[in-house]
Amino acid sequence: MEQTKKIREGNIRIVSRLIRNLEDSEPEARTAIKNIFPYTGKAHIIGITGSAGAGKSTLVDGLISAFRKKNKTVGVLAIDPTSPFSGGALLGDRIRMQKHTEDPGVFVRSLATRGAMGGLSKAVGDAIHVLDAMGKDIILVETVGTGQQEVDIIYNSHTVIVVLVPGMGDEIQAIKAGIMEIADIFVVNKADHPGASQLLMELKNMINMAQIPEDGWPLPVMTVESAFEPIKFGEKIDSLAQNILKHYEYLVHSDQLKSRLHRKTMVEIKDALRTCILDQILSDLEANGELDRLAYKLISKESDPYTLAEEISSRYLKKRPGKPYQKKG
């Protein structure tokens, strides 16, 4: 309880250690989440995604300034990839955000993906809870550089910003499924580079193809450029921040906030079940060497993966003994 109090008071050492313990799946970190959970749910969580080098960190830096001007406290979780070879990582998102380091209203934490494939890290959901309980008004979550498919950010944020830059492909890219579907706000960044007006037009065409109901969110496309001219850049970012807040208002006044919360909590409970049931079974099987023996049974064709899995599940899950998967209806 002492820890919960310190988190809520914004004790940086306690908060940053807890996030680390969450990343390392330390058992006591789970207890901490149980304790702080009642104090979460107040922050506006904003996801920023887009390809590597699109300018996400620079936008985050600008957004921190914009929200601080509105007297909102800001937490940032910036994710960069883990090496598949060494398991190490080079986390460089902070470089762009240094001017806020000494502002006590801003907390920035870098996370490595550690093998997660959806553009985030496994600990990010819980880390958001920590910053939320800490009392941050705004939480900015910057994904790794994403391609087409890494859309997990929608399960973790209220407002998703997809950052695009000119010169990445033709108009067919704009109507493909995946990342182009998840935006609440599009940002065409580096809009002073060649090809920007074409990209802008393609995006607008794409949006016009979709049928947005009259009371729906009109999906803004915004341009940002001149990151090295503070006044011009600041103005653009201020209007982006304005649109972000407008989107939240829209969520509150429509049913969307509830349905997004439902979408998020569904994923959260499934993840928790996986951690508490599946991970436990797997580590059990690994520890007693059974997993190895099962693999050999497959190599020797003694059995097949589904028979083995059904045997295991009937052993562990007593209430529904080995019921084979049946398609509904």
Q: Which is nearer to other proteins, 98 or 307 (CB)?
A: 98
Binding to other proteins by residue 194, rule CB under 8 A?
no
109 binds other proteins (CB under 8 A): yes
Dig out the tokens for 53 from the structure.
Answer: 């080098």
Q: Examine residue 90 and tell whether it contacts other proteins (CB under 8 A).
A: yes
CA nearest 112: which of 140, 145, 89, 128?
89
- Report the first-to-last Cα separation within the chain, whole angstroms: 48
Taking CB under 8 A as the binding criterion, the range among 90-98, 140-148, 231-239, 248-256 that sits at the site for other proteins is: 90-98
How far is the C-alpha of 144 from the C-alpha of 81, rounded, in Å?
6
Find the part of the chain contacting other proteins (CB under 8 A) among 92-100, 139-147, 175-183, 205-213: 92-100
Whose structure tokens read 């990343």?
Answer: 23
Encoded amino acid at 33, one letter: I
CA–CA distance, 222 with 240 (Å, rounded to integer): 7
- The secondary structure of 256-313, three-state, reads HHHHHHHHHHHHHHHHHHHHHHHHHHHHHHHHCCHHHHHHHHHHCCCCCHHHHHHHHH
Residue 96: CB minimum distance to other proteins, A: 8
8, 17, 246, 260: residue in contact with other proteins (rule CB under 8 A): 17
| DSSP SS3 for 293 | helix
| From 104-112, 149-157, 264-272, 318-326, span contacting other proteins (CB under 8 A) | 104-112
Q: Is 84 in the site for other proteins (CB under 8 A)?
A: no
Count the neighbouring beta carbons within 10 Å of the beta carbon of residue 35: 15
Report the C-alpha gap between 2 and 8 in whole angstroms.
10
Q: Does 110 bind other proteins (CB under 8 A)?
A: yes
Smaller CB distance to other proteins: residue 88 or 289? 88
Backbone angles phi, psi at 323, to 5 degrees: -65, 120
Burial class (CB in 10 A: 0-12, 13-18, 19+), 225: middle
Indicate whether 86 belongs to the interface with other proteins (CB under 8 A): yes
The rounded distance, in Å, linking the Cα atoms of 65 and 234 is 8
The Cα 7–Cα 4 span in angstroms is: 5
Beta carbons of 179 and 149 less than 8 angstroms apart: yes
In the bound state with other proteins, the residue whose beta carbon lies nearer, of 14 and 66, is: 14
Instruction: Pick out residues in 23-62 that bind other proteins (CB under 8 A).
Output: 23-27
The single-letter code of the amino acid at 61 is D
State which residue, 12 or 168, has the beta carbon closest to other proteins.
Answer: 12
On whether the CB atoms of residues 49 and 153 are closer than 8 A, the answer is: yes
When asked if residue 207 is in the footprint of other proteins (CB under 8 A), the reply is no
Binding part of the chain for other proteins, among 33-41, 81-89, 133-141, 199-207 by CB under 8 A, reads 81-89
Of 59-67, 84-92, 251-259, 317-325: span binding other proteins (CB under 8 A)? 84-92
Told to check if 276 binds other proteins by CB under 8 A, we report no
| Total chain residues near other proteins (CB under 8 A) | 32
DSSP 77: E
Least Å from the CB of residue 325 to other proteins: 30
The residues in 156-185 that bind other proteins, with binding defined as CB under 8 A, are none
Shortest CB 90 distance to other proteins, Å = 5
Of the candidates 109, 37, 15, which has an alpha carbon nearest to the alpha carbon of residue 268? 37
CB of 94 to other proteins, least distance (A): 6
Smallest separation (angstroms) from other proteins to the CB of 226:
21
**Residue 108 binds other proteins, judged by CB under 8 A:** yes
Binding interface with other proteins (CB under 8 A): 12-13, 16-17, 19-20, 23-27, 82-83, 85-92, 94-95, 98, 101-102, 107-110, 112, 114
